Amino acid sequence: MIGAMFRVMALSVIRDRGALALAFLLPPVIFLIFAAIFSSASGGDIRLQVAFGASGQSAFADRLETALRAENALQVLPGVSSSRAAVTQSIESGHADAGLFIQGGPDAQDTAPLIVLVDPGKVLAGAILSGRLQRLIASELPDIALARTAVTVEALAGGFTTEQKARLDAALRAVADEGGSMEGVAPLVSIEEVEPAGRASATISYYAGAVSILFLLFSSLQGAATLIEERHAGILDRIAVGPAGTDVVVIGKFLFLTVQGIIQVALIFSAAALIHDLDVTSRFGAWFIVTLAASAAAAGLGLVVASACTSKQQAQTISTFVVLVSSALGGSMVPRFMMSPWLQDIGWFTPNAWAIESYYGILWRGDSLKELLPELSLLAVMAAATLCTSVVVSRKRLSL
C-alpha cells in the first residue's frame, strides 16, 4: 500500500507537466536569487546613497568630497548642501540612505568635525558609512588623521613650542604629498540619528509594513486557489449559465480577499500600536488608503495566478515562488538599501517595495498622500490590471 501511494503521487506530478517543471526548476532559481540578495546584504556589494554637506568651503572639505565621490562603495548625491538641515531633509525624504555633514576642520577639539546622519530605520547604513569614511581617511588622507591626533596630544601636553609646530606642519605636508597610510586614527566621526519628534521607532514603522504586505501575498494567493477547485468541481460551469457568467465569481473573490487583507493588516498594526506605541490613528485616513490599495493588489495577483494555473500543484508552487521572490527583492526580508544597486532597481517592480515605502512614508516620514502618489498609483494599477486579466482568463478557460 505504501508503494501504491508513492506511485500515485509520483504519477500525478509526472502527468502534470507544468507542476513537474515548476517543482524542479524553481528551487534552483530561488536559490540563485536569494544568494544574490543575501551575499550583497553581507556588505560586499552595498552601495549607499549619501547626501554630502559642509558648513563652509575649505581644503579639508574639498579633499574629503573628492575622495568620497571616487569611492566605489558609495554613491554621493550631486551637489553639496550648505546646512545640516538640508542633509537631514535628503535623508527624511528617502533620497539618501545616510548623510555626511562637515561642521569643522580636523583641528576642532570640542566636537567631531564629521557628522554622519542616519535614518533610525537604517542604522546599519550609518555604521557602514562611518567605517568606510574612517578607513578612507586613514588610507587616502592620513595627514587629516595625524592633524587630529596632533591636536589631541597638544591639548593633553599643554601646547607645542614654535619649533615643534613648524616641524609638525612640515611632517603633515610630507605625509599628504606621499599619500601614506596609518592605523589607529583618533576619532573624527560622530553618528547621529535623524529622528522626528513624537514618533515611534522607525524600525517598527518599517517592519509593520513589510510584514503586512508579506502576509497579504500569502493569504491572497492561498485564498484564490479555491478558484481552481471550483473549476475542477464544475461549479464555474454551472454559474457560467447565469446572466453574469463567471465574472461574479472572480469579482466576488476579489472583494472578499481585499476585505480579508484589510482586516489582517489592521490586526498587525493594532499589535504594533498597543505594544510598540506606533501612532496609526493620527494618519488613519492615509493608512486606510494604503492598506486598501495593497490588499487589492495582492488579491488581484492571487486571482491571476489561480486563473492561469491548471492544477492546484502548479498554483502552490508558483505562489511560493512569487511570495518568496517578491518579498526578498521588495524589502520584506532584508531592507533594500543593503542590496546591490541592480537588485534595488529590480525590487522597485514588486508590490512589496511600493507598500513598504507607502507605510514608511505616512507613519515615519510624515509624507502626504500626494507625495506617495507614485507608489499608490502603481498598487492601484496593479489591482485593476490583475483583476481584469483574471476575469478574461477565467472566461477563456470555460470556452476551451
Q: Are residues 168 and 284 in the same domain?
A: no
Q: What is the largest CA-CA distance in the chain?
A: 102
| Angle at 290 (CA atoms; ends 285, 293), nearest 5 degrees | 125
Other CB atoms within 10 Å distance of the CB of residue 196? 12
pLDDT tens for the 400 residues of the chain, in order: 777 777 777 777 677 666 666 667 777 877 777 777 766 655 556 778 899 998 888 888 888 888 888 888 788 888 888 888 889 888 877 788 889 998 877 766 667 788 999 888 788 888 888 888 888 887 877 777 666 665 555 554 455 567 666 665 666 566 556 555 444 444 678 888 887 654 557 888 899 999 999 999 999 998 888 888 888 777 776 776 666 667 888 899 999 999 999 999 999 999 999 998 888 998 899 999 999 999 999 999 999 999 888 878 788 888 888 898 899 899 898 888 888 888 888 999 999 999 999 999 898 888 888 889 999 999 999 999 999 999 898 888 766 5
Q: What is the pLDDT of residue 21?
A: 66
Q: What is the pLDDT of residue 161?
A: 64
Distance CA 286, CA 103 (A): 38
Q: Are residues 172 and 260 in the same domain?
A: no
Q: Are residues 107 and 234 in the same domain?
A: no
Residue 39 domain flag? no
| Angle at 121 (CA atoms; ends 284, 118), nearest 5 degrees | 125
Spatial CA neighbour of 246 closest among 381, 385, 400: 400
Distance CA 160, CA 173 (A): 18
Residue 30 domain flag? no
* Residues forming a β-bridge with 49: 75
With the C-alpha atoms ordered 382, 385, 391, 395, is the resulting torsion angle positive or negative?
Answer: negative
Distance CA 110, CA 170 (A): 25
Give the pairing type, strands 98-102 and 48-54.
parallel
Query: Of the residues 157, 174, 193, which one is the last residue of a structural domain?
Result: 193
Q: What is the pLDDT of residue 75?
A: 86
Query: Of the residues 159, 193, 227, which one is the last residue of a structural domain?
Result: 193
Q: Are residues 174 and 282 in the same domain?
A: no
Residue 104 domain flag? yes
Q: Are residues 189 and 226 in the same domain?
A: no
Q: Which are the contacts of 277, defined by CB distance < 8 A and separation ≥ 6?
A: 200
Q: Are 10 and 24 in contact (CB under 8 A)?
A: no
Q: Are 136 and 116 in contact (CB under 8 A)?
A: no
Q: Are residues 221 and 359 in the same domain?
A: yes
Q: Are residues 135 and 247 in the same domain?
A: no
Range of the domain at 184: 48-193
Residue 319 domain flag? yes
Q: How far is CA 153 from CA 106, 107, 111, 196, in A?
A: 13, 11, 16, 38
Q: What is the pLDDT of residue 141?
A: 77
With the C-alpha atoms ordered 178, 184, 188, 193, is the resulting torsion angle positive or negative?
Answer: positive
Residue 273 domain flag? yes
Distance CA 286, CA 308 (A): 33
Return the CATH number at 52.
3.40.190
What the block records as the C-alpha cell of 150 is: 596632533
Q: Are residues 158 and 67 in the same domain?
A: yes
Query: Of the residues 139, 172, 193, which one is the last residue of a structural domain?
Result: 193
Q: What is the pLDDT of residue 169?
A: 67
Q: Are residues 176 and 219 in the same domain?
A: no
Residue 38 domain flag? no
Residue 289 domain flag? yes
Distance CA 235, CA 246 (A): 10
Place of cell 507605510: 359
Q: Are residues 175 and 209 in the same domain?
A: no
Q: Are 280 and 269 in contact (CB under 8 A)?
A: yes
Residue 27 domain flag? no
Number of domains present in the structure of the chain: 2
Q: Are residues 159 and 233 in the same domain?
A: no
Q: Are residues 115 and 221 in the same domain?
A: no
